[in-house]
Structure 1
Amino acid sequence: MTRRPALRLSTLRSDLPASLVVFLVALPLCVGVAVASGVPAELGLVTGIVGGLVTGLMPGSSLQVSGPAAGLTVLVLAAVQEHGLATLGVITAAAGLLQLAMGAARLGRLFRAISVSVVQGMLAGIGLILIAGQLYALADIKGPTGGPAKLAGLPGLAADIAGDGRALAAAAIGAGTVAVLLLWPRLPARVRVVPAPLAAVAGATAVTALFDLPVARVEVAGLAGVVDLPAVGDLAALGSLGVLGTAFAFALIASAESLFSAAAVDRLHHGPRTDYDRELLAQGVGNTVCGLLGALPMTAVIVRSAANVQAGARTKASRVLHGVWLLLFAALVPAALSVIPLAALAGVLVHAGAKLVPLRSLRPLWRADRGEAAILAVTAIAIVLTNLLEGVLLGLLLAVLKSAWDTSHLQVAVTELPDGAVRVTLHGSATFLRLPRLLETLESLEGLPADRPVRLDLAGVRHLDHACRSALEQWQERHNRSGTAELLGLPA
């Protein structure tokens, strides 16, 4: 068993600088995710603070960092638009309680069994909607609601930008932000000490201030003005199937994203591995607290977690300290947010959305397994055309059907014996998925004369489901009216 490193001065020397790096990465992302979700910017900081000070202290994954995630932006925005901001806290708290129940039932490890293609399709669908929505915000233009409407309106968006000076200025700021994010990894290592999102947003803010560009900026009210504890009357919303369904979707997506992030983070370091059930409990506690504060839901986020590992973090102290820095920033200098152009945050999220779409892995996946590639594509398209929950459920259904199809291999061989009889040999799993082919073979033998019996050899069948058993018995009964059919080795 690997011992977890104790918090000592030697580890603090690594964790303290790492916490500052994570803080600088998390700051623009917390604000950007909140704005894109249709809630005050400070609520994103609240979730980041809870992710550091509450979830960060709990066992599970030592180096994984939690906070508001781009992957939930689409779902949160839809929830706020449909149920209102006051209900968001109730939904988030309910999702946290569901996560606690799943963690207590030790269901955390089961999330590792979810098809990777479904998860990639889910992230791709979220990424496409996020990109489509943030392209409007990137130009300070209010976009339509719904994934299909956003995609359909993109051709007209270019014309709107070209004909509006304010939109053109905002689009230039947003495009410049994306350009910095794309070019940053290619710069010298000494420059890349500054996290790319911070550098991009800081540069966009400086240009906006220097040229006094007429673009929209972040609106700030302070933590005291946005933290809203749910009232007793708000709990009545849980009687709505729509609210309960949204809470279930929050819990499912947040848990899946957190635990898949944990698996990715474990591959980045050689320290203690994640306890998936404890991590699910930690996420549940964090989301319950976020819900009570009326803040955004949280997940473990791979961008911040990877930055934490790469910065040399050794214990959970780094993620706890990053929460401290967020709290100090939000409490002491919240007005600093009001100089940030919204277009720059939209550019950060466009870049984050693009990273969710696995374009590089799609072609190799198509070559290796076209069925898995199809599941990925169908899941993503379904999310864009319907919603997140329905798209994921469709992807899971397709994955289960594909798995059942792949595992129900059945070989059917027809041979003629020296005595004139015909032997049909089955080998593998005889399930309803292979029933059409099996019946087609048997029905082709129904014209044989009565003196040529058909012997169906089932000795090599590993599994015979009820549908196949019933169909074989019915075929035998029908064939015996004009000939002879024997079922050999029929499982009891």
Structure 2
Amino acid sequence: MIPPLSLLPSGTLHRDVMASIVVFLVAVPLCVGIAVASDVPAELGLVTGIVGGLVVGVLPGSSLQVSGPAAGLTVLVYEAVHTHGPAVLGVVVLSAGILQVALSAMRCGRWFRAISVTVVQGMLAGIGLVLIFGQAYTLADSAAPSGGLEKIGGLPRLVADIVSGGAARSAFAVGTGTVLVLVLWKRMTGRFSRMLPAPLAAVALATAAVAVSGLPVATVEVRGVIESVQPPGLGDFFLLGEVAVLGTVAAFALIASAESLFSAAAVDRMHDGPHTDYNKELMAQGAGNAVCGMFGALPMTAVIVRSTANVQAGACTKLSRVLHGVWLLLFAALLPATLGIIPVAALAGVLVHAGAKLLPVRQLGPLWREYRGEAVILIVTSLAVVVTNMFEGVLLGLLLAVVKTAWETSAVHVVVDDGASPRIGVRMTGSATFLRLPEILDPLEALPHDRPIELDLSGLQHLDHACRTALTGWAQQHNEAGVEPVRVRIPPSASA
């Protein structure tokens, strides 16, 4: 809970207020840009940001991380809206929030820490690539193809449209200028960048440039907060009878939970205050998504960009993230018309930059050198997200991670003692699973049939059914041609 303002030291109160303003300035362009990229009204991004501040901000869990719409769910929201229609958004987000609350009640929050970090990095990298390829078209005010491969295949045509001039070139100039400001802002402004965050500065400069030059570029469509909010009707919940919609609910809940809790772990390393209670944070995120679903708004997660800005701006308590929600509410209520002058290409530039930051470019080289299998999982997961969709890509990544782990933990060693004794001794150690059958059977089948054999399995920690059956079959074949039956020592502790 937030302590009463009268109990806060004056310095703490001042730092929280200033941090809330910084987070608000970071949140506005991101909330609007994510909504536009998700193909929903821009105001719904603000609604999710408001709920993230006023609802999640006061609940227990993490103390300094900030919640709101996240670029990581943009692709999934876009797919859901275009596959099942806009009415499904509120139903899916509400159901995902309830599922998160249920997972919290079962104290499953800490289990999200067991998800392969490489799969999560691959998921985020795939999302980053999809954002870059998709928003590249929005940079030029062009319609993007539907599939990931189609987006990549259409890039030559997009380049030709930009080179040919006209509106596409003007919009592309605005978008790429936005990206350049985002990249160079801290270098150009130094400490001043904390007072005026790069996303707001980039969008503001792009908006001013368009207003002064009169460039023919598309701007954000303004509908009004009241008109944009569309709570799900009772009939919309019948959509939950479709398997595809239930899969989307599960994807929303699991991915939002994993991203939030990984963000919490990262934010905890940035400050010396109380660390996150993962089950309570999962409950808070679920409550926030349930409220967002009631308004038909975007799903939320804890957002590392806003959370980092909050910590770096000197926030001390939860008050900063609650106040950032208050500022968003005031902005949505008093200044919604200002959204109508923002160029869509500028928001696309913000998301292209956000997508590029999701790519683990610096980490991939060391990961490849030290843990090549993990690097393969990361690359395959990210490409699968681009080629198929986020849910199937993550499932493939998790499957690869499980197979890799099973392969590594099933290491088995076969030692053949062909000494002076007439009997050949074969000793196995490690874990004998079906994945290692070739390594087990090849040396056994190469043994001579005219000498007695003793097979010692007492050193095995695990012996699965497939290996037990294969060894029994080999012993029977050897016995039919051998001079003496194979003697097998199977430990009673070896599980089958």
TM-score (norm 2): 0.96
Contact 1:223–1:330 (CA under 8 A) maintained in structure 2: yes
Asked if residue 143 in structure 1 is aligned to residue 144 in structure 2, the reply is yes
Q: Which segment is superposed worse, 206-215 or 477-486? A: 477-486
Does the 8 Å CA contact 2:367/2:374 hold for their aligned counterparts?
yes
- What is the rounded CA distance, in whole Å, between the counterparts of 1:220 and 1:24 in structure 2? 19
Partner AA of 2:17 in structure 1: L
Tell me by how many angstroms 1:310 deviates.
0.5
Equivalent positions of 1:148-297 (< 5 A) are 148-193=149-194, 194-297=196-299
Deviations, residues 148-173 of structure 1 (Å, cap 9, x unaligned): 11111011101011224111111000
CA distance in 2, matches of 1:172, 1:69: 26
Which residue does 2:325 correspond to in 1?
323
Summarize the alignment of residues 65-144 of structure 1 with structure 2, pairs less than 5 Å apart: 65-144=66-145
For the residues of structure 2 that align with 1:337 and 1:489, how far apart are their CA atoms?
Answer: 73
- SS state of the match for residue 193, structure 2? coil
In the TM superposition, what is the alpha-carbon distance from 1:236 to its structure 2 partner? 1.1
Secondary structure of 2:200's counterpart equals helix
Show the counterpart of 1:436. Answer: 438
**Residue of structure 2 equivalent to 1:424:** 426
Could you tell me how far apart the structure 2 residues matched to 1:210 and 1:191 are? 25
One-letter code of the match for 2:56? Answer: T
Match of 1:478 in 2: 477
Give the match for residue 393 of structure 1: 395
- Which residue number corresponds to residue 372 of structure 2? 370
Q: How far does the alpha carbon of each residue in 1:118-173 deviate from its partner, in whole angstroms, 9 at most, with x for none?
A: 01100011110110010100111111111111111011101011224111111000
Determine the C-alpha separation between the residues in 2 that align with 1:153 and 1:6.
56
Distance 2:27 2:414 in 1: 59
Mapped to 1, the partners of 2:261 and 2:147 lie a distance apart of 28
Q: Give distance in 2, aligned partners of 1:6 and 1:126.
A: 41
- In the alignment, the residues of structure 1 paired with residue 154 and residue 405 of structure 2 have an alpha-carbon distance, to the nearest angstrom, of 38
Q: 1:489 and 1:470 mapped to 2: Cα distance?
A: 13
AA at the equivalent of 1:14 = R
Q: CA RMSD in A?
A: 1.4
Asked if the contact 2:427/2:455 (under 8 Å) is kept, the reply is: yes
Provide the secondary structure at the position in 1 that maps to 2:431.
strand
- Alpha-carbon shift at residue 282 of structure 1 (Å): 0.6
How far apart in 2 are the matches of 1:462 and 1:89?
50
Task: Find the counterpart in structure 2 of residue 27 from structure 1.
Answer: 28
User: Which amino acid in 2 is paired with 1:482?
Assistant: A
Deviation track 1:403-422 (CA, whole Å, cap 9, x = no partner) reads 11111111111111332211
Task: Give distance in 1, aligned partners of 2:2 and 2:214.
Answer: 51
1:306 maps to 308
TM-score by structure 1 length?
0.97
The worse-fitting range, judged by mean Cα deviation, of 470-479 and 284-293 is: 470-479
For 1:114 and 1:402, locate their aligned partners in 2 and report how far apart those are by CA, in whole Å: 14
| Alpha-carbon distance, 1:4 to partner | 9.6
Alignment gaps of 5+ in structure 2: none
| Alpha-carbon separation, structure 1, partners of 2:288 and 2:9 | 28
Q: How far does residue 189 in structure 1 lie from its aligned partner after superposition?
A: 2.5
| AA partner of residue 109 (structure 1) | R
- Paired residue type of 2:422: G
For residue 46 of structure 2, give the secondary structure of its aligned residue in structure 1: helix
- Confirm or deny: 8 A CA contact 1:265 1:302 kept in the other structure: yes
Please give the alpha-carbon distance, in whole angstroms, between the structure 2 residues aligned to 1:29 and 1:169: 22
Equivalents in 1 of 2:376, 2:87: separation in Å? 39
Q: Deviations over 1:9-33 (max 9, x none)?
A: 3321211100000000000000000
Matched, 1:456 2:455: yes
> Does the CA-based 8 Å contact 2:104-2:280 persist in structure 1?
yes
Separation of aligned partners in 2, 1:67 and 1:434: 47
Secondary structure at the counterpart of residue 220 of structure 1: coil
Q: CA deviation at 1:488?
A: 2.0
Structure 1 stretch 188-197 or stretch 82-91: which is displaced more?
A: 188-197
Q: Which amino acid aligns with 1:248?
A: A
CA distance in 1, matches of 2:187, 2:432: 55
Contact 2:449 2:478 in 1 (8 A): no
Q: CA deviation at 1:491?
A: 2.8
Q: What is the CA–CA distance in structure 2 between the aligned matches of 1:433 and 1:215, rounded to whole Å?
A: 58
- 1:325 counterpart letter in structure 2: W
| Contact 2:2–2:319, Cα closer than 8 Å, also in 1 | no
Q: Which amino acid aligns with 1:456?
A: L
Q: CA shift at 1:6, angstroms?
A: 7.7
C-alpha displacement of 1:489: 4.2
CA contact (8 A) 1:4 1:272 kept: no
Q: Deviations over 1:347-369 (max 9, x none)?
A: 00000000111111111100011
- Distance, in Å, in 2 between the alignment partners of 1:437 and 1:476 is 16
Give the counterpart letter for 1:9 in structure 2.
P
After TM superposition, give the deviation of residue 391 of structure 1 in Å.
0.4
Tell me by how many angstroms 1:36 deviates. 0.2
Gaps of 5+ in 1: none
Say which SS state the counterpart of residue 456 (structure 1) adopts. Answer: strand
The percentage of aligned residue pairs carrying the same residue is 65
Could you say what secondary structure the match of 2:425 adopts?
Answer: strand
* C-alpha separation in 1, matches of 2:31 and 2:343: 15
**What is the Cα deviation at residue 109 of structure 1?**
0.8
User: Contact (CA 8 Å) 2:145, 2:151: kept in 1 or not?
Assistant: yes
One-letter amino acid matched to 1:439: L
In the aligned structure 1, how far is the partner of 2:468 from the partner of 2:124? 41
* SS, match of residue 141 in structure 1: coil
Do 1:6 and 1:315's aligned partners in 2 also have CA atoms closer than 8 Å?
Answer: no
Question: C-alpha distance in 2, partners of 1:342/1:170?
Answer: 8
SS of alignment partner, residue 414 of structure 1: strand
Cα distance per residue 1:383-411 (max 9 Å; x no partner): 11111100000000000110111111111
Shift of 1:309: 0.5
Aligned partners of 1:469, 1:490: CA distance in 2, in Å? 12
SS at match of 1:457: strand
What corresponds to 2:37 in structure 1? 36
2:464 corresponds in structure 1 to 465
Deviation of 1:490 after TM superposition, in Å, equals 3.2
SS state at 1:481 partner: helix
Q: Which residue of 2 aligns with 1:53?
A: 54
**Matched AA of 1:211:** S
Rounded Cα–Cα distance in structure 1 between residues aligned with 2:246 and 2:307: 30
Q: Which amino acid in structure 1 is aligned with residue 403 of structure 2?
A: L
SS in 1 for 2:481: coil
Secondary structure at 1:463 match in 2: strand
Opposite residue 380 of structure 1, the aligned amino acid is S
- Contact 2:2/2:58 (CA < 8 Å) preserved in 1? no
